[in-house]
Amino acid sequence: MVVVAVAVCATVVTVAAHGPRVAVAADADALGGAAVGGAASPPAAQPARQSFDRVNAVSPRSGGLLGPRFPSRAPVLLVGDSLAVGIAGPLAAAWPNRTVTVEALEGRNTSTSAALLADHASATGPIWVVSLGTNDLPTDFPAAARTMMRLAGPSRCVVWYDVHRVDTQDAVNATLSRLAGRHANLHLLGWAALAQAHPEWFGYDGIHPDTAGYLARASLATDAVAQLCTTGGAGGALG
């Protein structure tokens, strides 16, 4: 089952769906700063086999193998921006036996996500897939990222995509590296390296990929959750 949390104008509505179906909010947060819109249409929520070179799939900056692990049916929270919306369908298809809760919206930054999670973070699943940082100002991101990890706590397994955005990625990714060094349960996914190796996935903005890119991005998460968050085998795969 997939549980889809659709955020519209800062109100979160939880909708239960049977099977890998994902609803996407039509409205974006009215955010300033570094927000980016115009995401490519996400791939449909159906299984697909995707072959690609997993460059830096799980970063050596990861917290390593010391973090907590959970059964293969453990619930997952996917939290983030339009890049999270784009992988929600493929993740749901890859994890048919998990409950996947999606709290994601185009233009969302880390501080907004943390604020929306603050009153119910303790009730979310033990595995978090985080797609945040692309819409953050580098000066604001460190405090917001620390808040996200405080909300996650040490007993969850957190996999967080690093950022592919030419004007901010160095500073944002450096912050994530430092954060991973302090949290054994935080594992960084090497989206920046993989995206750089595949410029054909990207259109005019260089940030939002096409369907092949979204499937590759989703595979980073399924691989990492299987390797780093799951006991007794794989947690699902796209190919």
Q: What is the mean pLDDT of residues 185-189?
A: 96
User: What confidence score (pLDDT) does residue 217 get?
Assistant: 98
Provide the CATH number for the domain around residue 165: 3.40.50.1110
The pLDDT value recorded for residue 15 is 27
Q: How far apart are CA 182 and CA 189, in angstroms?
A: 16
Label residue 31 by pLDDT band (50, 70, 90). Answer: very low
Q: Is the pLDDT of residue 22 over 50?
A: no
Among the ranges given (62-66, 124-128, 193-197, 214-218), the one the predictor scored with the smallest mean pLDDT = 62-66
Query: Is residue 115 predicted with pLDDT exceeding 70?
Result: yes
Pairing, β 2-8 against β 186-189: unpaired
pLDDT in tens, 200-211: 999 999 999 999
Q: Which domain holds residue 204?
A: 2-6+49-229
Q: Does the pLDDT of residue 6 top 60, yes or no? A: no
pLDDT confidence band for 239 (50 / 70 / 90): very low
Q: Report strand pairing: 186-189 vs 11-17.
A: unpaired
Q: Is position 28 within any domain?
A: no
* pLDDT for position 67: 78
Asked whether residue 26 is assigned to any structural domain, the reply reads no
Q: Check if the beta carbon of residue 81 is closer than 8 Å to that of residue 148.
A: no
pLDDT at 118: 97
Closest by CA to 216, choosing from 96, 75, 56, 99, is: 56
pLDDT for the residue 78:
98
Does 44 fall in a domain?
no
Tell me if 236 is assigned to some domain. no
Is residue 167 domain-resident? yes
Residues 6+ apart with CB under 8 A from 208: 36, 38, 39, 40, 82, 83, 86, 202
Q: What is the mean pLDDT of residues 206-225?
A: 97
pLDDT of residue 1: 45
Q: Quick check: is 195 in a domain?
A: yes
Q: Once rounded to an integer, what is the mean pLDDT over residues 157-179?
A: 97
Q: How many domains does the chain have?
A: 1
Q: What is the pTM of this model?
A: 0.78
Q: Provide the sign of the torsion angle of the four alpha carbons 101, 207, 64, 147, taken in this order.
A: negative
Question: Does any domain span residue 216?
Answer: yes
**Spacing of C-alpha 163 from chain mean position:** 11
Check residue 231 and give its pLDDT: 87
Q: Per residue in 21-53, is it b (16+ CB within 10 Å) or e — as a string? A: bbebbeebbebeebbbeebbebbebeebebeee
Mean residue pLDDT across the chain: 79
Contact, 59 vs 147, CB < 8 A? no
Lowest average pLDDT, out of 58-62, 69-73, 101-105, 146-150, goes to 58-62
